[in-house]
Structure 1
Amino acid sequence: MVNHKPEMIRAEEVAERLGISRTSAYSVIKELNRELAEKGYMTVTGKVSKDYFEQRYFGWKEGIR
């Protein structure tokens, strides 16, 4: 059995991946966390699920792990 630990990413990595400022990255995280909360998921301020981020921005992840 594979034990997958969900990964969370912070504003620094979001900023780097998208080529934006850290301030803008915090806005991205806030919006993604709002979407997740509306779907009933728990969120962590200042961090976002790496899988969800990649799915929404790059479209290559199937669901949240």
Structure 2
Amino acid sequence: MANYRYMMSAEDIAKELNCSKSHAYKIVKELNRELAGQGYITMAGRIPRAFWAKKMYGYELSIS
């Protein structure tokens, strides 16, 4: 578990979607706005990996 990266950066998202970093930052900003609306604390330029999986692929990551 020591190597598990809980947060994804905009750079990670740009690589995953094969898009520009500026577009990835726009996506992260929108997702952070959604998280903040739900009462979560957010970090600029980063989103939780589990939230990304849920929003983009429709499933949640489970860590055992």
Per the normalisation by structure 1, the TM-score is 0.81
**For residue 9 of structure 1, what is the aligned residue in structure 2?**
8
**For residue 26 of structure 2, what is the aligned residue in structure 1?**
27
The one-character-per-residue Cα deviations of 1:14-63 (angstroms, maximum 9, x if unpaired) are 0111111110000000000000000000000111111101110111217x
Which secondary structure state, in structure 2, belongs to the residue aligned with residue 26 of structure 1?
helix
Amino acid at match of 1:25: A
**For residue 55 of structure 2, what is the aligned residue in structure 1?**
56
Which secondary structure state, in structure 1, belongs to the residue aligned with residue 44 of structure 2?
coil
- What runs of 5+ residues in structure 1 fail to find an aligned partner? none
- What runs of 5+ residues in structure 2 fail to find an aligned partner? none
Per the normalisation by structure 2, the TM-score is 0.82
Distance apart, 1:6 and its partner CA: 7.2
Which secondary structure state, in structure 1, belongs to the residue aligned with residue 53 of structure 2?
helix
CA distance in 2, matches of 1:16, 1:40: 28
Amino acid at match of 1:35: E
CA distance in 1, matches of 2:40, 2:11: 23
Matched positions, count: 59
Q: Which runs of 4+ in 1 moved over 2 A?
A: none
CA distance in 2, matches of 1:58, 1:16: 16
